[in-house]
């Protein structure tokens, strides 16, 4: 009989069928495996195995009231876990696989661990669009719960190097999938029963509103129980953060946007998609540089700018 390996060493799994097979084997044994998605790297474990999910919380040092997203290979798998509203069906058809998470009524027979839902009667589900995540989820054959693969409260990982920097030795393995294309976490939509925005993310709100033909109510409130993950200080680099800065003051490093004289620039041409893809990578770079005072250029609040500004406000929020 195979036992879960001790986690003193984190295995680096290749981005090919051999690596995926090993990742699936480890997940089935109840271990925690980080894998790439198009948004950020997730720290995955079997969503139906309490001990495996407890291992995620332990590795991240995450508050246990914070529910997790269940990742599946396709819509058919998602429909076994949750009840779809008509609006959810339209969004799934339009945007899955992709950077969209939907919070829907949990099917009580789905067998999902209460540690995934934090005991709530809803479940967040997502079908990622990534050439490694897809075969991993398909071959695992059930839901994989996966928060972002970073220590709780730290910057989300958009490269396997970031995962190793934060979690090496604390998790069984990481799939080496290179950089994530989108670079910010998925957009989260809830239904009450009308669609509401719970977290701005990698799928622009404007695209969702166009698909539904109605505006979305925004419930993006820092510490509300509707989205318990939204702790106010989050995504934080080590240095202090000052937002909407036109220029660096003395002692500050400027993270720029658009045509400014900056140490690092999210997008010199002012492209929000490029800026989202660079955001966490550059915050990691500022940590690596030892920047202790970070000024950040203003970012327009449209398209992916909504998600970027949300993450930046959290990065600038008072630390606990």
Q: Which is nearer to ligand TXA, 67 or 256 (CB)?
A: 67
3-state helix, strand, coil in the chain (%, to 5): 30, 20, 50
Cis peptide before 281 (omega within 30 of 0): no
| Least separation in angstroms between CB 147 and Mg ion | 5
Cβ closest to Mg ion, residue 174 vs residue 253: 174
Contacts of 269 (CB under 8 A, 6+ apart): 258
Task: Pick one of Mg ion, ligand TXA, none as the site partner of residue 228 (Cβ within 5 to 8 A by kind).
Answer: ligand TXA
Examine residue 148 and tell whether it contacts Mg ion (CB under 5 A).
yes
User: To the nearest whole angstrom, how small is the minimum distance from the Cβ of residue 57 to ligand TXA?
Assistant: 11
CB of 45 to ligand TXA, least distance (A): 12
Q: How far apart are CA 210 and CA 46, in angstroms?
A: 35
Whether 47 and 70 have beta carbons less than 8 Å apart is answered as yes
Which does residue 27 bind out of ligand TXA, Mg ion, none, counting CB within 5 to 8 angstroms by kind? none
- The answer to whether residue 309 forms part of the interface with Mg ion (CB under 5 A) is no
Which H or E run includes 37? none
Give the span between the Cα atoms of 159 and 178, in whole angstroms. Answer: 6
By the rule CB under 6 A, 68 interacts with ligand TXA: yes
Among ligand TXA, Mg ion, none, partner that 117 touches (CB below 5 to 8 angstroms by kind): ligand TXA
Q: Is 209 exposed, middle or buried (0-12, 13-18, 19+ CB in 10 A)?
A: middle
40 binds, options Mg ion, ligand TXA, none, Cβ within 5 to 8 A by partner type? ligand TXA
Rounded Cα–Cα distance for residues 164 and 99 (Å): 23
Nearer to Mg ion among residue 148 and residue 267 (C-beta): 148
Nearer residue to Mg ion within complex by CB, 148 or 309: 148
The contacts of residue 271 (CB under 8 Å, 6+ apart) are none
User: Of the two residues 120 and 243, which places its CB atom closer to ligand TXA in the complex?
Assistant: 120
* Residue 146, contacted partner among Mg ion, ligand TXA, none, CB below 5-8 A by kind: ligand TXA
**Element housing 182 (H / E):** none
- Look up residue 34 and give its DSSP letter: E
Binding site for Mg ion (CB under 5 A): 148
Binding site for ligand TXA (CB under 6 A): 37, 39-40, 42, 66-69, 101, 103, 117, 120, 122-124, 126, 146-148, 185-186, 188, 198-199, 226-230
């Amino acid at each position: 009989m195979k036992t879960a390996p001790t986690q003193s060493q984190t295995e680096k799994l290749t981005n090919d069928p051999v690596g995926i097979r090993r990742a699936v084997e480890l997940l089935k044994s109840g271990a925690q495996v980080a894998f790439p998605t198009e948004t950020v790297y997730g720290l995955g474990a079997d969503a139906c195995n309490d001990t495996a999910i407890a291992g995620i919380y332990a590795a991240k040092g995450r508050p246990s009231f914070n529910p997790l997203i269940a990742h599946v290979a396709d819509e058919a798998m998602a429909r076994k876990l949750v009840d779809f509203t008509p609006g959810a069906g339209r969004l799934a058809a339009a945007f899955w696989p992709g950077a969209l998470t939907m919070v829907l009524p949990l099917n009580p027979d789905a067998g999902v661990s209460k540690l995934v839902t934090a005991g709530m009667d809803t479940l967040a589900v997502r079908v990622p669009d990534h050439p490694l995540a897809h075969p991993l989820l398909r071959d695992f054959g059930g839901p994989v719960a996966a928060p972002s693969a970073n220590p709780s409260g730290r910057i989300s990982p958009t490269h396997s190097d970031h995962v190793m920097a934060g979690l090496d030795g604390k998790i069984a393995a990481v799939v080496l999938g290179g950089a994530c294309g989108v670079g910010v976490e998925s957009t989260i939509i809830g239904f009450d029963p009308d669609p509401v925005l719970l977290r701005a993310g990698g799928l622009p709100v404007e695209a969702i509103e166009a698909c539904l033909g109605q505006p979305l109510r925004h419930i993006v409130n820092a510490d509300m129980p509707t989205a318990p993950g939204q702790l106010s200080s989050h995504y934080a680099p080590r240095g202090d953060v000052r937002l909407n800065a036109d220029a660096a003051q003395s002692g500050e490093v400027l993270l720029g946007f658009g045509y400014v004289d900056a140490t690092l620039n999210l997008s010199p041409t002012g492209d929000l998609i490029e800026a989202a893809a660079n955001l966490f990578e550059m915050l990691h770079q500022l940590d690596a540089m030892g920047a202790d005072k970070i000024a950040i250029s203003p970012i327009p609040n449209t398209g992916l700018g909504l998600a970027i500004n949300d993450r930046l406000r959290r990065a600038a929020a008072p630390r606990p």
